Amino acid sequence: MQYPETGIENLRGLGYTEDESQFLYIVATHSGYFSARQYLTFTGAKSGEKSMAFTQKLLGKGHASARLLLRNGRLYHLYSRLIYRAMARENLRNRREHSVEHIRTKLAILDFVLAHLDYRYLETEADKVDYFCSELGLKREVLPAKRYAGAIRERTTDRYFVDKFPMFFAPDSPDPTVVTFSFVDPGLLSLATFDSHLLHYLSLFAAIPKVKLIYIATRPMHFEAARKLFLAMAPTGTNPDPAVEGLRYFHYRYRWEKKRYSELTTEQVEFLDEATKRYKDPRIEALYQPFMSGQITSDVVSEQFRKLAPKREVSFRTELVDGQVALFEPNRPQRSRHQTGPRVKRCSEPTFDPAFKGDFGEKAEQAEEK
């Protein structure tokens, strides 16, 4: 985890310790909600006195609110604009009130992040867009997006990666330079939501040669079914077609070398510049002159570009997190780690079981903190 020095110093200036400031940064960036137990997990402390002192400080300063849930446990919501502004995170929606489903998802995300503080996360929408568009050279059109109506009539805004699931580089991965995607299941009854999520990401998955996804859940019941669904839906070929891209490169290069600049648009010149850096393989260079002189056909060139294109790799793994389910479920059933879930259904069935939908937010003047 990389903590911005300025943000941590700003939080310390508000009266928080180094540990408290770092925890607040993680919560604000990835969740907005937390339990006292998650704070103790982060600090490695066992005494409830440490978490009590921290949460009372937050509440006393008016930087967070508390809700009493099951088993006299409390859930804290970090909502103060001052806290988010101190970390240059003022526009994050985590400071707003959300549904129970959303809250449970955020708590599961926080559990995962706290368990993997050594990962390097793409924390914001801007970080993710910059990585895929600037570093990998992808077009925004392939990114998962949602269009929102603006305050001004007929004005819309496209937002990317609105699910805000963790996206990271793992140092213990065989290839730590490849980003890992994730999906967070806080206790869903079916895989319908995961199915929709994959459909939303298919264009991006098809545009990169390596796709790694981790299914994070509070129960293992869907693990095997989710794996099968992911492998069935993961694109088997790259998009765009390597052959089409290769032929474009040869034709644009020919015009450029013949100084026929007027025949190239700005977009084509940008493509040529990127492609020149990408196609360094001598076997590709050996095709150029024979093709442009008519000695070999486009079919031969297309076949070679497809053979030399990076092979598509997809990987899927799972991870269990606590998700602070004891705050929401009175009787959580014990499930086998190898239990699989039902097949994906496209229907209007309930998203969660009845225990998930219990009353939320009942306040109490006195409660034992857990």
CA distance 140 to 130: 10
pLDDT in tens, 118-144: 999 999 999 999 999 999 888 899 999
Residue 367 located in a structural domain: no
Q: Do 83 and 11 form a contact (C-beta atoms < 8 A)?
A: yes
pLDDT in tens, 2-18: 899 999 999 999 999 99
- More confident call, 48 vs 120: 120
List Cβ neighbours of 56 (8 Å cut-off, separation of 6 or more).
Answer: none
Asked whether residue 205 falls in the same domain as residue 339, the answer is: yes
pLDDT at 117 > cutoff 80:
yes
Would you state the pLDDT for residue 278?
Answer: 83
Asked whether residue 46 falls in the same domain as residue 91, the answer is: yes
Residue 106 located in a structural domain: no
pLDDT at 350 > cutoff 80:
no
- More confident call, 191 vs 353: 191
Paired tokens of 261: 């600049």
Please give the model's pTM, rounded to 2 decimal places.
0.77
Out of 66, 97, 128, pick the residue that ends a domain.
97
Q: How far is CA 178 from the centre of its chain?
A: 13
Asked whether residue 39 falls in the same domain as residue 70, the answer is: yes
CA distance 370 to 356: 20
- Specify the CATH number for the domain of residue 17: 1.10.10.10
Other C-beta atoms closer than 10 Å to the C-beta of 16 total: 22
Would you state the pLDDT for residue 91?
Answer: 81
Asked whether residue 158 falls in the same domain as residue 184, the answer is: yes
Average pLDDT over every residue of 150-170: 87
Angle of CA points 294, 300, 302, to nearest 5°: 110
Domain range for 297: 242-308
Asked whether residue 151 falls in the same domain as residue 71, the answer is: no
pLDDT in tens, 311-346: 778 999 999 999 999 999 887 644 444 444 444 443
Asked whether residue 211 falls in the same domain as residue 167, the answer is: yes
pLDDT in tens, 52-66: 999 999 999 999 999
Closest CA to 113 of 55, 164, 57: 164
Q: Do 343 and 194 form a contact (C-beta atoms < 8 A)?
A: no
Count of domains for the chain: 3
Residue 84 located in a structural domain: yes
Provide the residue count of the chain. 370
List Cβ neighbours of 71 (8 Å cut-off, separation of 6 or more).
Answer: 326, 327, 370
Asked whether residue 20 falls in the same domain as residue 57, the answer is: yes
Across 76-98, b (16+ Cβ under 10 Å) vs e yields bbbbbeebbebbebeebebbeee
The segment with the largest mean pLDDT, out of 147-151, 232-236, 295-299, 352-356, is 295-299
Asked whether residue 126 falls in the same domain as residue 36, the answer is: no
Average pLDDT over every residue of 65-75: 92
Closest CA to 34 of 134, 95, 107: 107
User: What is the CB-side half-sphere exposure of residue 138 using CA atoms within 13 A?
Assistant: 21
pLDDT band with cut points at 50, 70 and 90 for residue 300: very high
Asked whether residue 74 falls in the same domain as residue 128, the answer is: no
Determine the 3-state secondary structure of 278 from DSSP.
Answer: helix
Asked whether residue 318 falls in the same domain as residue 256, the answer is: no
Determine the 3-state secondary structure of 4 from DSSP.
Answer: coil
CA distance 293 to 119: 51
Out of 82, 97, 112, pick the residue that ends a domain.
97
Would you state the pLDDT for residue 360?
Answer: 42
Dihedral, CA atoms, 240, 243, 245, 247, nearest 10 degrees?
Answer: -150
Would you state the pLDDT for residue 43?
Answer: 94
List Cβ neighbours of 130 (8 Å cut-off, separation of 6 or more).
Answer: none
Would you state the pLDDT for residue 338?
Answer: 41
Q: What is the mean pLDDT of the chain?
A: 87
pLDDT in tens, 230-288: 999 987 666 678 889 899 999 999 999 999 999 999 999 999 998 998 888 899 999 99
CA distance 126 to 140: 12
Residue 107 located in a structural domain: no
Other C-beta atoms closer than 10 Å to the C-beta of 235 total: 16
Residue 63 located in a structural domain: yes
Q: Give the position of tokens 């867009």.
A: 129
CA distance 187 to 43: 27
Determine the 3-state secondary structure of 315 from DSSP.
Answer: strand
Would you state the pLDDT for residue 237?
Answer: 65
Residue 363 located in a structural domain: no
Out of 267, 282, 308, pick the residue that ends a domain.
308
Residue 59 located in a structural domain: yes
Q: Taking the CA atoms of the chain, what radius of gyration do you get in angstroms?
A: 25
Asked whether residue 211 falls in the same domain as residue 194, the answer is: yes
Residue 113 located in a structural domain: no
Q: Residue 160: beta bridge partners?
A: 145
Asked whether residue 216 falls in the same domain as residue 322, the answer is: yes
